[in-house]
């Protein structure tokens, strides 16, 4: 995700309003259209652009009657820092580093999320339980290494 692309998205008032709505809860196109009083075709184009950039993600949810609805949600936390002074301009995007550091973990979560989108809830739940268990085991191991290291340092 490039800074210019993010700024382009954020430069559009309608897109900022859509993002503001989505901070409250995931929504589907007609909800957003109704709440912002903007045509659905325009909303779809804005959502598509933000989803392609990676700011939004979509998933289908079953409803009581009719076809599943496509809901949109914010896909990740992104923080932009811009520093402007007389002799420099610095920009930094915070959020991408987390994805880069934990690529395997996020890939596994994406795979599970796709199962959810496809309606394979039981399988997704089992996979999430296993994923959480692995994370807990890794955390315990890291804590034991830390404690061991502290003991070694104290005995010196």
Q: How far is it, in rounded angstroms, from Cα 93 to Cα 99?
A: 12
Tens place of pLDDT per residue across the chain (156 aa): 678 888 888 899 999 999 999 999 999 999 999 999 999 999 999 999 999 888 899 999 888 888 889 999 998 878 787 888 888 888 777 665 555 556 677 778 878 888 888 888 999 999 999 999 988 888 888 888 888 888 777 776
* 18-47 exposure pattern, b = at least 16 Cβ within 10 A, e = fewer: bbebbeeebbbbebbbeebeeeeeebeebb
Q: How far is Cα of residue 150 from the mean position of the Cα atoms in its chain?
A: 36
Report the alpha-carbon angle 131-23-119, nearest 5. 45
- For the entire predicted model, the pTM comes to 0.57
């Amino acid at each position: 995700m490039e800074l210019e692309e993010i700024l382009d998205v954020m430069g559009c008032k309608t897109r900022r309003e859509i993002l503001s709505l989505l901070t409250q809860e995931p929504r589907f196109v007609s909800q957003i259209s109704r709440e912002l009083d903007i045509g659905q075709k325009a909303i779809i184009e804005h959502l598509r652009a933000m989803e392609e950039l990676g700011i939004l993600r979509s998933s289908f949810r079953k409803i009581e009657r009719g076809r599943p609805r496509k809901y949109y949600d914010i896909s990740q936390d992104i923080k932009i820092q811009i520093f402007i002074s007389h002799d420099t301009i610095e920009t930094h995007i915070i959020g991408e580093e987390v994805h880069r550091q934990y690529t395997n973990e996020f890939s596994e979560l994406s795979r599970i999320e796709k199962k959810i989108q496809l309606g394979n809830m039981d399988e997704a739940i089992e996979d999430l339980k296993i994923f959480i268990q692995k994370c807990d085991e890794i955390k315990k191991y890291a804590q034991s290494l830390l404690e061991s290291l502290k003991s070694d340092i104290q005995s010196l």
